[in-house]
Structure 1
Amino acid sequence: MEVAHLEAALNGDVNKFPFCDIEREDLSEIFNKVSPSGNSLLHVASSSGHEQMTQLIARNFPYLVTKKNSEGNTALHLAVRAQKLNTVRALVELSKRIPNSSTSTDTLLTTKNDDGNTALHEALFAIHSSKKNVITLVDVACYLVLMDPKVSCHQNNAGKSPLCMAVESGNKVILEYILDFLPKLGNDFAQIVEGKSPVHAAIEHEKLDLLRIINEEKEELLLLRDEEGNTPLHLAAYKGYKKGVRYLLEIKSNWAFERNNKGFYPLHLACENGHVKVTKELFRKWPDPTELLCNKVQSILHVAAKSGKENVVRYLLKEKSCNDKLVNKMDKNGNTPFHLAALHGHSMVVVALMLDKRSKVEVVNYQGLTAYDILKSNVFAKVQDQQIDVNDRNLKADDGVKENSVEVYLKSSEKSKQFQMMMTYSMLYMYLEFFPCCRITRHHHISTKISSFNRKLPIPKQDVNNTINNLFVVAALIVGAAFAGVLQIPYDNGGNGTDDPDRGFFQERNQMSLSFFLFYNIATMILSVIAAFTLFLALSVDNNLATKLVSVAFLLLELALTFMGCAFLYILSKAVAALGLYKIDATFISLISYKLS
């Protein structure tokens, strides 16, 4: 393309060559030339908004109307970007008069560039990014919709249609204009609307006013589902959009009982993403959650535990409708919510389920494994993999190979997940193996009546013996500390015969503290000795009686530790007194008394 021809097209000067002699047949070679970016003279004239020159070129060289530049844009795309309404109209009208079907209006308006955008897409992009001349762009968009309503449902490479983009930009004028013409297309919207549904876009951007407009103008659009089979209520529950959920339930309450491709109800998605408020809204429609199961036979508690949403798990456990059946419900593989929480390393969810007395933490799945068994095998497998990874990293370091940032990020996220798994494993180990007496106390001493001691507890003899050994060590340490405290009783020889009344007052208080110290210290020793003898006795009886004696010894040691803490308060007060912190200047006291009087 010659520079002089380009300048003439930019200025719209039809009196300059070659535009003044455009009807000559030998000039076609000039108009076939393009700029470095692939623009023809028609592209240049259209983007500059020169209506007369655009009509002149398109009338004599109609094939240029659909010609694309290096980015796949036609002259219409550039005219829309330039916000030239008259030029847009001229190109559309000229395409109608061209007899060749390849340059028809439908083809021109539906032609897409390399990004998959039609001219209407470009108009909506310009509206979203432009701060000036928005009214002109709206007029351009409405004109294009008027010429071909179907183009408003065509998606680009990003999966967005102009209808969806109108919702995302919040432009009510264009949205209502498009919806007014949609009834002419029939009711088969599933095949007409491409890409993301405008209803889904309204929910994603939480635009309740646009959602109301769609429902009032064309309610059939609410029936559209995405590629995963999600209804609008599914998406609102997934996002935690409470107002949207409430509005959609008012429109059609039966949506609460429709599944997506995975068999998830909207309530599943709300629990999976930790939206307690939305969960409460959906609970009002169906208060019995035990009947809502997905394709894997997982309840809402399964989903919440698997995703680690502690807030939802605690809410469900407090619900009246949450019974033993829901807490210990098995899925397709026999896993309970406790299994899934432990398997994915969600320590806080594991704690919440362990503290619930209805939860059976030692139940086995269909493979005969408890949650602790599964987690233990996974943790040791991770440790072996980590050792292999360390060796591989050492080899790479020897070879001078550096890890890229993606590998470092993946390994850091993997370490975080592994840390969570180790935390969960440690908690289960402490609960199930290191301190089984805590488990006995929680399930059979506190939460049941005294008569429940007659029940047989399926606790292995080895576990009971390990607990006895651990508690005996604790008892011995407490006895030793109490004995040492008696041998080193603080005694105050000072202050006898003094005339200082304040000194006598503090000495009297020290004698009182000493009495308390002796009482608490002796009580600590007696309780610890009794606990030790109880543990000795537990070693020589049968397993059931030994379990009960372990519980008694555990309570005795708890009391002993309490009394030891009280004795420590005496030592602390004595240390403070030794530093002279109790001594208050008499002049300061007199000054305060004078001020108060």
Structure 2
Amino acid sequence: MRTEQTRQVVEKYFSSLENGDLDSALALLAPDVEFDLPRDEWNSVIPYLGQHRGVDAVRKAFAVRAETTEVLDYALRGLRADGDTAFATIYTRAAHTRTGTEFEILDSHEMVVDDSGRIARWKVYFDPNGEIAAFTSDADERLIAASWKGDRETVSEVLRFGADVDHRDPESGLTALMIAAGRADAPLTDLLVARGADVLTADSGAGATALHKACQGGSLDVVRSLVEAGAFVDAVAPTTGHTPLMDALWYKFPEVAKYLLDAGAGLNLSTHYGFSLKEHFAYELNVNTVGKDRLLLAEKYLNERIASDDERAAAQWLMTAVTAGDVGSVRELLANGAEADEVFPIVGGFNDGHTPLLVAARDGHTEIARLLLDAGADVNATEPTFGAVPLHKAVYNGHVELTRTIAGWPGVNLDFQGATNGYTPLHDALWHGYEECARAVVDAGARLDLVGHDGKTPLDLAAEVFGDHPLTALIRAKS
């Protein structure tokens, strides 16, 4: 008898829901009914999930669901009762009201009917993934819309729901980070950077980076955040040839320009329409009538940087001696306390950003390199253009004795992969056909399994360059 009563109550309850008669359904619930839906991190996505206590709370949960979900099909697929407990299987096909995305759910309901014939406890079990996917299917679009509005709360929410932080606005080709940077929105920029937004990628229209957009927006805080996150100070837009510094000058933001100048932005770069940076700036000075005071301040900063570069370059006696191959002067300067790892300023020359050891390795000054290493020079120093270390420089130019010296130096990284092509020093030695340099690096213990950006291992290059050769056989035997 009790089992039959339970079955009838539950069957009537779901029949009322299927017919859209919510009031009749709720009348079958006990006043203090306990209604439990899955409760986890997705409650913020599907707002009616969780625990509900009392008929009013259940009614509210149904109201929230009605706001977010359009039920297209609802049916009782199975029902079994045992004493005061019933187990029902419900099929639902619905669509999320905002996204329009449809989903299906087959859920299981455990319901306990009390002595008065009302449902006192109701627990639902189901896989929410389909519904979550429907609720979040527009996350990428919402990310872009929220970024344009500066709505950090929504940006944070949709990123938590799985939005692609690097999704592009289909109209402008901008990522959310580019939008935030262009709008000079420092807090949103920081949020996106913290969530892994790509600071290096370029927009699909002009090829400009987020740092270019930040120089248009004029926020020093945004520019600083992007540079500290690894943005290239000298990124070049492929359509114009503009660097971020050129844009900072163009849009008349002198303090942004000063920051980039202090960060080492290059001064001897040119636009793709024939202007050098200095000519570009001179043109801006000539054609602007509004905000000229800001341009003049930027000119002051620019001239100070030029003077500073000239002074720094002139003061680098050690680099001058290394470049000239003057062993005696190098020895004397080091003995008098010259900084072995001084870095040459970015002036648009072959030594830009190099330490003396990098230059010595490149130019084949073996004795000078030993003096620098003995003085504590960093054997793994990198230069900014190709991301190469001294050992790359030595093998690339075929300096055998110098290669042996550096490859055997304590702490050397034999397997450093350059940023430009992913080649190790061994790759470079093989690529350029320097057999003895390659042997020296192999003998020093270089790894043979590393792959360049072209997918080639040292063995691939050895076979390609040397063919059927003892060096190729050696590398194959050691691989």
* Structure ranking higher on relative contact order (CA contacts 8 Å, 6+ apart): 2
Does the pair score TM above 0.5?
no
- The structure richer in helix per residue is 1
- The structure richer in strand per residue is 2
Q: What TM-score do the two structures reach when normalised by structure 1?
A: 0.32
- Which one has a bigger Cα radius of gyration? 1
